[in-house]
Amino acid sequence: MQTKLRMAVVIFAASLLGVSLTSAASHPAQSQTKSLTRVKQAKTSSIGMASWYGERHQGRKMANGQRFDFHELTAASWTLPLGTMIRVVNLENGKSVVVTISDRGPNQRLHRILDLSRAAAEQLNYVDRGVTPVFFSPGTYFDMREAEYDSTLIEPPV
């Protein structure tokens, strides 16, 4: 008798709260679509201001667990996944560089989209100004050196 009464109270309370007594496992597609809509998508390309950081941060631990070296071609971003290679183009002079996202930053209150290492800023030619307008997009690095001739290669059969 008490078991039936307890069950009736639980069902009544659940109906008042609007809670379904079915488990989430019985609706896997619904729970998966809800979780997918909450995932923040990373930007694929963007235009904005970039700054650089160098000597003051030398040797400090970055978000990827490695030590910062301002001689390396690295960058900090809040929106891109760590390890992403991007091509950054200086919109004032057209110079570009490929960097790897290795840290989090820059200060969002300053409305900057990237912090580049000093080496990257030197290749983009804006170290003296501190900031510059840039465009970035995920890219692939291509080695543009000429192939060496190897005389030991065999001619293909005709």
pTM as predicted = 0.61
Among residues 46, 65, 55, which one has the least CA distance to residue 121? 55
CATH class of 46-138: mainly beta
- From CA 136, how far away is CA 79, in angstroms rounded? 12
- From CA 98, how far away is CA 36, in angstroms rounded? 31
pLDDT, tens digit, for every residue of 76-109? 999 899 999 999 999 999 999 999 999 998 977 8
pLDDT score recorded for residue 36: 44
Paired tokens of 48: 């904005």
End-to-end CA distance of the chain: 93
DSSP conformational letter for 61: B
- From CA 81, how far away is CA 84, in angstroms rounded? 6
Residue whose structure tokens are 């390309």: 45
pLDDT score recorded for residue 22: 45
Domain ranges of the chain: 46-138
pLDDT, tens digit, for every residue of 10-47? 565 555 555 444 444 444 444 444 444 444 445 578 89
